[in-house]
Structure 1
């Protein structure tokens, strides 16, 4: 029997894993777009250092139901996920969780500025 050392340590692998800013930005934009019902290319994402953690700042439109449909049936607001403010607050927490879970990056916060509204035709807002 040989007493040669194993090629891989049981504790883990040595080296570094890095996720580029571009990959993090694409992930953040995709998460925001999905949660707010818009296209990812309509979302702008910027990063800042926040005492060693990442602070994410998003500027994005939000999808809303047609106003005449809301006037005819106010429950469309609830079907869309609530008011713009409620949806934005919920999205902030979910974007932070998604980006953290999928990338392993440590975010301190997510700030969202709504830059406009996109009228969603037809059914429910995504």
Structure 2
């Protein structure tokens, strides 16, 4: 995390508002960062935000995220034979990249490492399209 935002000790920092010549400061509280990261993670993995836990940490000056969550998976009985889908590891890799870029874009804090711990699967029924 940037030194001017929030550090691992729990201290809050301030950012200059609007750059030079503009008075004021912007304070981003850790709870706001956590809420954004939780919502982004939930959307990326297809689960409800209430099922996701995010821990913020310092990652060598960047915002590090530890995400614990179930992942949304299709019911294997509802997909047809020869269904070409992505692997679980590929989905998690894609989710890491999505969580990193989207959280950075929304919060303005550069996100470094994103660790995802899958703690279950949320099975969803996919509807087959009749032929």
Q: TM-score, normalised by structure 2?
A: 0.75
Instruction: Quote the offset at 1:22 in angstroms.
Output: 1.1
1:121 match: 125
Which whole-Å deviations, capped at 9, do the CAs of 1:41-66 have from their partners, x for residues lacking one?
Answer: 00000011122221101001000010
Aligned mates of 2:23, 2:54 — CA distance in 1: 32
Q: Which has the higher contact order (CA 8 A, sep 6+)?
A: 1
2:8 match: none
Runs of 4+ aligned structure 1 residues displaced above 2 Å come to 9-12
Q: Which has the larger radius of gyration?
A: 1
**Are 1:46 and 2:55 counterparts?**
yes
2:78 touches 2:125 (CA, 8 Å); kept in 1?
no
2:72 touches 2:121 (CA, 8 Å); kept in 1?
yes
1:110 match: 114
Equivalent residue in structure 1 for 2:43, among 34, 37, 45: 34
Give the structure with the higher percent helix.
Answer: 1
Instruction: Quote the offset at 1:100 in angstroms.
Output: 0.6
Aligned mates of 2:107, 2:98 — CA distance in 1: 14
Aligned mates of 2:112, 2:23 — CA distance in 1: 27
CA shift in 2, pair 1:99/1:12, >3 Å: farther
1:20 match: 29
1:4 match: none
Secondary structure of the equivalent of 2:25? coil
Q: TM-score, normalised by structure 1?
A: 0.78
Aligned mates of 2:19, 2:75 — CA distance in 1: 58
